[in-house]
Amino acid sequence: MTRKTSTTSTASGDGAAPGHALMSTHGLTKEFGGFRAVEGVDLAVAEGTIHALVGPNGAGKTTLFHLLTGFLPPSAGRIELAGRDITGLPPERVARLGVARSFQVTSLFPAETARAHLELALQAGTGLGRRFWRSDRLLARFSGRARELLDQVGLADRAESPAGSLPYGQKRALELALALALDPRVLLLDEPTAGMGLEDVDRTVALVDRVRAGRTVVLVEHNMSVVGSLADTVTVLQRGRVLVEGTYDTVRSDPRVVEAYLGAGGA
């Protein structure tokens, strides 16, 4: 159902039916000084699904995320969101259109409390710009929603803890809450379980499963058991290109995928 149909005519914007491509790329390419990190990628992310991007290190997954979120302009190709061409829009615009990402690299302010992070993100209206006036009176308006979000990611009892004091798994949960503060239609998660122990991995899987309701999730993930439990569709990238796409079970047993992983010594 999530085969790469060419998604031309969902010009209605909000009205995309479940299963329809909410976000898609067409011949998407990114060159760095002649080297193609992403090359001719056609991706169709069906609305309401979790779509995993996997592949050996250097396959172009993070670069593809940078392209999808406007952090990098493509060298060629097109990106559509609900039928609208968003190619080349800057990150703030893409975020406002409902695409939010949680970062692979931590971006928290150690001295600020978990609650303050969320209030500030809610006030900024985008998880990106944290350049704003600090007004406690204004921020108080967001405290209810901030608490809801903390509760959603299992941090209700850490609201007043400085972010720097949180253990690793909880820092990542806070980052996820910051992305959720935008109430995104499309949530991009770059290796949400990277560096986690088993217990935190399980917690994160449960968490992603909880917050997926009403959203579409694009997930870069190395841990194949995480991919297996969460993803509806898996796209395998290799050297910037789509190698194979399908359900987890199809992809996992595909000889080309086995070869790609063994050959590159990845994951």
Q: How far apart are CA 79 and CA 85, in angstroms?
A: 6
Determine if 243 is a binding residue for ligand ADP (CB under 6 A).
no
Which residues are registered as beta bridge partners of 221?
none
**Closest residue to Mg ion, based on beta-carbon distance:** 62
Q: Which residues bind Mg ion (CB under 5 A)?
A: 61-62
Beta strands 186-190 and 241-246 are: unpaired
Instruction: List the interface residues with ligand ADP, window 60-79 (CB under 6 A).
Output: 60-63
Can you state the angle between helices 168-180 and 198-211, rounded to 10 degrees?
A: 10
Q: How far is the CB of 55 from ligand ADP (least distance, A)?
A: 6
62 vs 123 by CB, closer to Mg ion: 62
8 vs 57 by CB, closer to Mg ion: 57
59 vs 257 by CB, closer to ligand ADP: 59
Read off the tokens for 140: 């108080």
Q: Which of 20-28, 55-63, 175-183, 224-232 is the region at the interface with ligand ADP (rule: CB under 6 A)? A: 55-63
24 binding partner (options Mg ion, ligand ADP, none; Cβ < 5 to 8 Å by kind): none
Determine if 37 is a binding residue for ligand ADP (CB under 6 A).
yes
Contact 87/159 with Cβ under 8 angstroms? no
Q: What kind and span of H or E run contains 190?
A: strand 186-190
**Residues contacting 33, CB < 8 A, separation 6+:** none
Determine if 101 is a binding residue for ligand ADP (CB under 6 A).
no
Amino acid at site 216: T
User: Which residue stretches of 8-126 are H helix?
Assistant: 61-68, 91-96, 114-124
Q: How big is the chain, counted in residues?
A: 267
Determine if 267 is a binding residue for ligand ADP (CB under 6 A).
no
Q: Please give the full DSSP string across 35-46, using - where no structure is assigned.
A: EEEEEEEEEEEE
Name the residue among 27, 80, 25 with its Cα closest to residue 53: 25
Determine if 58 is a binding residue for ligand ADP (CB under 6 A).
yes
Q: Which of 32, 109, 132, 168 binds ligand ADP (CB under 6 A)?
A: 32
Determine if 168 is a binding residue for ligand ADP (CB under 6 A).
no
Please give the size of the binding site for ligand ADP, defined by CB under 6 A: 10
CA 4 to chain centre: 20
223 binding partner (options ligand ADP, Mg ion, none; Cβ < 5 to 8 Å by kind): none
60 vs 169 by CB, closer to ligand ADP: 60
DSSP code of residue 156: G
Q: How far is the CB of 127 from ligand ADP (least distance, A)?
A: 21
Summarize as ranges the residues that interact with ligand ADP (CB under 6 A).
32, 37, 55, 57-63
